[in-house]
Amino acid sequence: MVILSVDYGDSRTGLAACDKGEMLASPVGVIFEKYEPKVIEAICQTVMEKKVELIVVGLPKNMDGSQGERALKCKDFAEKLSEKCGIEVVMQDERLTTVSAHRALNEVNVRGKKRKNIVDAVSAVMILEDFLASRKR
């Protein structure tokens, strides 16, 4: 099944997708848009182009497992995304994915503006990898 993951942010939204065999998660890109309806429209376009069958949206829980304002915003976004794209959207805990993405980019020496432009897509890959691992268990 082709699955798209979304790391939803206020200014940038990272996207990643896996192959039909659910073996490899790869970055798709970053949407540089603040206006939520345009972000949703861009994601739905990607869904059509890549023949996505399921969307996974990162759920930014607090470290204690509780859900704050940002988590509620992401849940609301996921509902709107499901309605607009017409496919199922599930939530995936994304605690520490951005930290892990920065570490991964440090290892390959990606810095400055280039890092800022791709860190959200790398975070989306990590969200998708976590989701795929949970499906295999």
pLDDT at 111: 57
pLDDT at 93 over 70: yes
Mean pLDDT of 4-33: 95
| Total domains in the fold of the chain | 1
pLDDT at 63 over 90: no
Say what percent of the chain tops pLDDT 90.
64
CA distances from 49 to 10, 33, 44, 52, 117 (A): 24, 19, 9, 8, 22
Provide the CATH number for the domain around residue 120: 3.30.420.140
Distance CA 85, CA 14 (A): 17
Which residues span the domain enclosing 102? 3-136
pLDDT at 134 over 60: yes
Q: Say how many C-beta atoms besides its own lie within 10 A of residue 68's C-beta.
A: 10
pLDDT at 109: 59
Distance CA 8, CA 50 (A): 19
pLDDT at 117 over 80: no
Give the predicted TM-score (pTM) of the model: 0.88
Q: What is the distance of C-alpha 135 from the center of its chain? A: 17
